[in-house]
Structure 1
Amino acid sequence: DHVVGDYLNPEQVLAFAKSCDVLTFEHELIPNSIIKVLEENGIAVRPNSSAFIYSQNKAEMRKVLQENNLPSPKWELYTGAKPTEISFPLIAKSISGGYDGRGVWVVGSESELAEILKIQPRLLLEEKLKFTTEIAVMVARSPHGQAATWPPTLTIQRDGICIQTITPAPDLSDTLKVSAQEIALKIADVIGLVGVMAVELFVVDDQLVVNELAARPHNSGHWSIEGSVTSQFEQHLRAILDLPLGDTSMRAEFAVMGNVLGGAKTDMYRPYLHLFARTPYLKVHQYRKEVRAGRKVGHVTAIGNNLTTLESEVSHAVNYMNGVVDE
């Protein structure tokens, strides 16, 4: 069975939730106030409103990280006055609602900041870090506190959108890999996470800094469908149902995932046929979304032991599906 309704309508959401044993989320856009209504009516919501708020509200996220001595950039809330802790250029972020580069601005002056304030009255300001690498760690935690992580993933961005991931992150020292997983586990414990969460981090001068949190299955963990013994999706279900968590070991030395963004091609069926014939070990996922420029409409994954070959084949597949190459 399926139910069609408005996730912004508390009555419709509550009516649906009453037929469920456990309720969970696909994205962060459902108002936290609606989650609290569900909880007040005895619905098991996982992650709960107290944990989910840190994915929905960047200011609350920064506060809890700071209170628990977790690595963060300098930050402050923008009130319209001159920033006191951060110098220009800086990063301005919507406190809620931004994703895939939306709601994030690089700001070079007070006048630029004032213009952004006209369209987004609630801003979080952060120092502009000189990072060398962006990584993500997927972590899962059950109601009883069992937790597990996957290996850190390198995320390659273009215009604020992830275009490719490589797991485990190449050229990341063993020390930083362990540290990244420890940070993810600590955050999961501190906020009382139930389910899976992506912890996005910057590597700055051989140190880690937390960028953002996403308390749900995440694009940076899609590689795990083929690349891990237990995918992030299975693990999320295990966690919210309080089942023993699964093995997060990799099935091969490397897993490379490339995001397919909307481009010139609207027909995604014929590219399937070509790619299946050309590279049989590729796994192609289509989200059946309306194709729009820059929108994530699918992804391609390859696992194996030769990283150079995997990167080449995934990049070719993505470019073919996007219409950048025609063979």
Structure 2
Amino acid sequence: MTQPGTGPVVGIVGGGQLARMLAEAATPLGIHVRVLAAATDEGAAEVVPDLTVGNPDDPQAILAFARTVDVLSFDHENVDHGALAELERTGIAVRPGLKLLSIADKAHQRSTFSAAGLAVPEFLVLDAQQADALDRALAFSEEHADDEGLIVLKASRGGYDGRGVWMLRADELEAFFDQYSGAPLVLEPKLPLDLELAVLVARNPSGQVEVWPVLETVQVNGMCDEVLLPANVSATLAAEAEHIGRQIAELLEAVGVFAVELFVSSGKLLINEIAPRVHNSGHVTIEASATSQFSQHLRAILDWPLGPTHSLSRAAVMANVVGTAGKDPRESQAVALATVPQAQIHLYGKESRPGRKIGHVTVLGEDLSQCRTSAALAAAALSAGHSAISDGPPND
């Protein structure tokens, strides 16, 4: 807890790269960060001296940890909700609270937003164990399959970076349901996409809300590969996206920073999903914005005044550094910086494995295309051949 002559103590459950970057943002603000992390967690341990080793999935470990801090926050949303509810009942500041964290369940999310009149894709929530699950899925496929006969199935909990998402035809559904035993599913059409957007929103307990300029995200194999600022959308569509972010902040009484991921399909906005925490798409704000998402999150959960969110350059691109087998990106910083001297490199201290996000690179400039090329070159140098360059906005 706060001691005389020290700043507030923020506890973070989970020791990955988000906790690491929150700790880095806390130092200039005079905030003391304490992290609850498993012994096998990677990321935060390299930069956080006050590390409590414990299981972030253990309710008792969370309860004990929470009593040592002024406010509790999270590196990820997969936290025991029962433990958090008990903490909230005892008056401990849990930020974000359960109302926002629970929206990570995609079934609950879709139902909540649909009931509130927010624009979401057509959807069906199914418990795969129910006797009529296959018949209902087949009926949904018959009505909503695209020209290739595909619909999208998403696990309502636990999926990320393309995991827990399947695109199936009607004749593949029976075999899928025979072997699937996970969380309830959300079925939706496979939409024709113009592009994908992200809106970062911050809200503090006093009700102040700040929204960053809309970001464009480029997905490769279901995982965010690049983030482009500004997004290639009209001012009208950008304003609509920001308005959706503000609506969700008030609906969920959010505290902290969260990300709204949006589809643009045939010129119309639809909510894809919500990340109830600081988010990969927001890493670009570290250098590109007047206030980074990490600094803003700390300000928000402490109920401090929020900072401005305007961009500091005409263009900015963030490219993820993706791991490969046997390649440590820390062997290649000099090569990357020689290739792109203006690159801002962030490595997470994680073991490099194929398909794993192990860092990111941000490049600022006057021209978005040039920034994109430079960021891709630097990321490729760090990840030994992975290229963040794509042919344009995603179309699936």
TM-score, structure 2 normalization: 0.79
Residues 1:31 and 2:92 aligned together: no
Contact between 2:283 and 2:318, CA under 8 Å: does it hold in 1?
Answer: yes
Residues 1:118 and 2:179 aligned together: yes
Q: Which residue of 1 aligns with 2:43?
A: none
Contact between 1:228 and 1:249, CA under 8 Å: does it hold in 2?
Answer: yes
Alpha-carbon distance in 1 for matches of 2:319, 2:89 = 41
Structure 1 SS opposite 2:152:
strand
Structure 2 SS opposite 1:166:
strand
Alpha-carbon distance in 2 for matches of 1:135, 1:263 = 27
Q: Which residue of 2 aligns with 1:251?
A: 312
CA distance 1:325–1:137, change in 2 (3 Å)? closer
Alpha-carbon distance in 2 for matches of 1:306, 1:132 = 22
Alpha-carbon distance in 1 for matches of 2:194, 2:181 = 29
Q: Which residue of 2 aligns with 1:168?
A: 230
Q: 2:123 aligns with which of 64, 67, 75?
A: 75
Alpha-carbon distance in 2 for matches of 1:265, 1:309 = 30
Residues 1:44 and 2:93 aligned together: yes
Q: How many residues align?
A: 324
Amino acid across the alignment from 2:341: P
5+ residue gaps, structure 2, are 1-49, 128-132, 388-396
- What CA deviation, in whole Å up to 9, does each residue of 1:242-283 have, x standing for no partner? 111101011101110000001155222231112223322110
Contact between 2:60 and 2:83, CA under 8 Å: does it hold in 1?
Answer: no
Question: Shift in Å at residue 149 of structure 1?
Answer: 0.7
- Show structure 1 runs of 4+ deviating over 6 A: none
Alpha-carbon distance in 2 for matches of 1:325, 1:242 = 41
Measured on the aligned residues, the alpha-carbon RMSD in Å equals 1.6
- What CA deviation, in whole Å up to 9, does each residue of 1:173-222 have, x standing for no partner? 11100000000110111011000011000001111000000011100000
Amino acid across the alignment from 1:94: A
Q: How does 1:140-179 map to 2 (within 5 A)?
A: 140-170=202-232, 172-179=233-240
Alpha-carbon distance in 2 for matches of 1:137, 1:29 = 22
5+ residue gaps, structure 1, are none
- What CA deviation, in whole Å up to 9, does each residue of 1:58-83 have, x standing for no partner? 11111111111111001111241323
Q: Which residue of 2 aligns with 1:87?
A: 144
Q: 1:230 aligns with which of 285, 291, 299?
A: 291
Structure 2 SS opposite 1:101:
coil
Q: Which residue of 2 aligns with 1:294?
A: 355
Q: 1:17 aligns with which of 59, 62, 66?
A: 66
Which stretch of structure 1 is more off in the superposition, 23-32 or 179-188? Answer: 23-32
Structure 2 SS opposite 1:242:
coil
Alpha-carbon distance in 2 for matches of 1:78, 1:117 = 14
Which stretch of structure 1 is more off in the superposition, 229-238 or 118-127? Answer: 118-127
Identical amino acids, percent of aligned pairs: 40
Alpha-carbon distance in 2 for matches of 1:40, 1:310 = 48
- What CA deviation, in whole Å up to 9, does each residue of 1:12-54 have, x standing for no partner? 1111100111001111111222221222332210111122100
Alpha-carbon distance in 2 for matches of 1:211, 1:26 = 21
Alpha-carbon distance in 2 for matches of 1:155, 1:3 = 35
Contact between 2:337 and 2:378, CA under 8 Å: does it hold in 1?
Answer: no
Alpha-carbon distance in 1 for matches of 2:261, 2:181 = 24
Alpha-carbon distance in 1 for matches of 2:314, 2:321 = 23
Contact between 2:159 and 2:165, CA under 8 Å: does it hold in 1?
Answer: yes
Residues 1:312 and 2:378 aligned together: no
Question: Shift in Å at residue 118 of structure 1?
Answer: 2.3
Question: Shift in Å at residue 116 of structure 1?
Answer: 4.4
Residues 1:213 and 2:274 aligned together: yes
Amino acid across the alignment from 1:140: A
Q: 2:106 aligns with which of 58, 61, 80?
A: 58
Alpha-carbon distance in 2 for matches of 1:73, 1:249 = 30
Amino acid across the alignment from 2:334: L
